[in-house]
Amino acid sequence: MKLKDPDKIQLIYNATLKLVKESGLAALNMAAIGKEAKLGMGTIYVYFKSKEELINSLFHSLKRLNTQRIYATLTPDAPFKINMKELFDNYIINRIDYFEEHFFVEQCSNSHYLDAESRQLDEEAFHGVFELLDRGKKELLVKDMDNAVLTAHMMGSANEIVALCMKQKIKITKAFLDGAFTLCWDSIIR
């Protein structure tokens, strides 16, 4: 059995990301991916049997990578607020630096294309923030609300900040992140 070329997989992934950013997930098709990647349809289908297989493969790769980036600087022994600030900052910076990737993941998360394994991976990405929020509740710092609601609130705030930065080409500074975090922090603490 011939090994698959990782460079060709990356070409297919890059073409997929570009096309989804331009036209959305629903408009994505294998012919357009092949054209964008400058690979024949036979080659595309050697690597991925279907659009769904490609979407799930790319989703897995990006979800793992982005989750790793977002949690990378958190340390278990750091004070709760410091870890929350790191998480918030990492999320915003990662979304801006890897906007195309996040756009794809977000489109997938809200689509019918993801299989059960991908949906599970999507849910697991929230375990870290849920554990952190539970710690904040035990320390009587965070409102005693459902973690999913708290996380949705924080992510909504962060996503709007990212959208604002992207639209208005705002440079992310420490002062900007500190101010954004203060607004979010004040809304979740007791």
Q: Which domain holds residue 111?
A: 51-188
Q: What is the CATH number of the domain that holds 21?
A: 1.10.10.60
Residue 177 sits in the same domain as residue 149: yes
pLDDT at 2 over 90: no
**Whether the model pTM is above 0.85:** yes
Quote the tokens at residue 172: 């992310």
Residue 15 sits in the same domain as residue 88: no
Residue 86 sits in the same domain as residue 143: yes
Residue 39 sits in the same domain as residue 58: no
Instruction: Residue 132: name the closest of 109, 150, 159, 155 by CA.
Output: 150
Residue 88 sits in the same domain as residue 160: yes
pLDDT in tens, 108-154: 998 999 999 999 999 999 999 999 999 999 999 999 999 999 999 99
pLDDT in tens, 21-47: 999 999 999 999 999 999 999 999 999
Residue 29 sits in the same domain as residue 110: no
Residue 40 sits in the same domain as residue 64: no
Residue 165 sits in the same domain as residue 137: yes
Looking at the structure of the chain, the number of domains it has is: 2
pLDDT in tens, 74-117: 998 999 999 999 999 999 999 999 999 999 999 999 899 999 99
Residue 32 sits in the same domain as residue 75: no
Predicted confidence at residue 4, as pLDDT, reads: 78
pLDDT at 1 over 90: no
Residue 99 sits in the same domain as residue 70: yes
Among 10, 30, 49, the domain-final residue is: 49
Amino acid at 134: D
* Cα–Cα separations (whole angstroms), residue 122 to 47, 90, 119, 171: 23, 18, 5, 29
